[in-house]
Structure 1
Amino acid sequence: MAKYLPTAPALAVAAVLILLSAVDYGVAEDSLCKMTEKGMVACLPSVTGGASPAPPSDRCCSALSRADLPCLCRYKDSPVLSQVGVKPELAKQLLARCKLGLPGECN
């Protein structure tokens, strides 16, 4: 796999986007790494925006807080991120913006 996102916050967002693409193709059921499709969709404005992205919504942060972050870290190198418009620099900031800790597995 190509390495597009080297840090853990980006990993969480990667999983969000992977789930979205999997749902579009009928692959995923209701969640990926305990992150629901609705939670992932809620996070998209915070990782795809322009110079001033939207702050993460309560729904986004709540979904991330319940997600299996080490599981999400497995998707950090997915090329799906750039394909769906996720900006790596914004994805890297998402966990911190939600005031969530970075799991050791994501380093």
Structure 2
Amino acid sequence: MRPTLLALIAVATLSAAPAAMAAPTCQDRNGDTIRCGTAGAMPVGWTLPAAQRSRVLAARPPEPPADLLGLGLFLVGFFALLALLPDFDGQWDRQELDEEE
């Protein structure tokens, strides 16, 4: 009885939630996404023709893989820090503040 009641409450809560509405997106004359209503924005729903899109994409220089470069630098730094850690053989060294037994 209790699991059924919890399931009904969950269904009622989710069905009463309002739907999320997204704002429309517009494109500029080069086919890039731009906020609607700004200078250079085309009307809502306008898309660049396929032939023109292929010409625009072919004219753009290839973008460098900045994400991969950043990830590589992060991993090199991480492993360098790991290499700088002192050796650990499974037992802690005794410190000055440890109690004498």
TM-score grouping bracket, smaller chain normalisation:
under 0.3
Calculate the TM-score normalised by the size of structure 1: 0.20
Bigger-Rg structure (1/2) = 2
Choose between structure 1 and 2 for higher RCO, CA contacts under 8 A separated by at least 6 residues. Answer: 1
Question: Which structure has greater helix proportion?
Answer: 1
